Amino acid sequence: MVNVSPLAPKCFPKMPVIPGVSLAAGETKIKYKGRNDLMVAQFAPGTRVAGVYTRSLTSSAPVEWCRKILSSGQAEALVVNSGNANAFTGKAGIVSVERIVEVVASLIPCSTSKVFVASTGVIGESLPDKKLTATLPKLFKRLGENNWEEAANSILTTDTYPKGATRTADIGGTEVTINGIAKGSGMIAPDMATMLAFVFTDANIDPKSLQALLTDGANLSFNAITVDSDTSTSDSLMLFATGKAGNDKASPLDDFKEKLTEVLIDLACQVVRDGEGASKFIAVTISGADDDGAAKRIGLAIANSPLVKTAVAGEDPNWGRIVMAVGKAGEKANRDKLAIRIGGIAIAEGGQVISNYDESPVVEHMKGTNIDIFVDVGIAEGRATVWTCDLTHRYISINADYRS
């Protein structure tokens, strides 16, 4: 029985139908018993795709495949398995991917270059792809427009709950829908996007614009979260647009961009809230930096600091550790103008603790589950927010036992 994170949302959101998208999930028993561990999504012909993938130099075979076919900008299927990452598996891993996409392409039918894949789980173990290919025909017979929660559950590993988000947007007077699902709990750090996240829309958008929208959104969401500073070999974020809404391609995409970013931030923060062993969700906002990039790097230095994260876990408002993390970030910061607030309560201004500082309201804030840290570094106008969670004994237990 999985203990659901205390930071989890109350329920999985009600996800509307996305015209041109159907999903199914099934069980292969690659690693897990008694639960689904494989999902497939089929898309209407003409569906466009964008993707952002891990920058890890040891990226998985599925990531390499997706990078190879992404330039076509077209997709008709997505296959995702959990329990085995198919990473660091040599030529056998590549062959496994090829066998999987060939089976999917024959079932649709379509070109193999329109079949995207993703895997998550243990690194370095060969993928028993025959178990996947034997299950796929059954899944294609069970495809449905409403299987969002089933699909989201099938891609989990150490996660304690399925992650989903949905929004509607306006493009030139036409309403379009955006749905997203994600998985991630540990090995989360912003060197791309997240562990796995898949977003679907009926918007009619060309591949070049779709890619730009996704890249920008990733930088504000999945590239701004961290649980443990470790970047996965399998990180994949993909956006599929069926075009079924029929909106005018020439219409401005401002509202769509805003709502897409909201979905991405929602999913990214759910990943953090499900951080392995997490008991507190932390938002770190930096202002006054040299530029927005510098602000993000300072924020991540704080968010990745084990000393800061363990202090939050212990409900100790040890703001000196925040000062330390700012100093180690390698970005410009004016020590004599530094200002710090926790929970909106001023602690330091002008490079020193404020006079008559009363720690008691800060202590009360630290007892909550949502912790807000604000730092102004006194250089320029750069600003960014990043999200993380605390570091508890439970994190060690989960990862010490992961392969057992």
Active-site amino acid positions: 194
Q: Token pair for residue 195? A: 């562990």
Q: For the chain, how big is the Rg over CA atoms in Å?
A: 22
Q: Contacts by 361-365 with C-beta closer than 8 Å and gap 24+?
A: 362/317, 363/315, 363/317, 365/317
Q: Token pair for residue 339? A: 């200002």
Neighbours of 227 (CB within 10 A): 28
Q: Euclidean distance between the first and final Cα of the chain, in Å? A: 15
**Rounded CA gap, 283 and 332, in Å?**
21
CB 266 within 8 A of CB 77: no
Q: At what angle do helices 90-107 and 129-141 cross, to 10 degrees?
A: 20
Q: Token pair for residue 382? A: 């750069």
CB 40 within 8 A of CB 139: yes
Handedness of CA 93, 96, 98, 101 (dihedral sign): negative
Strand pairing report for 345-349 and 339-342:
antiparallel
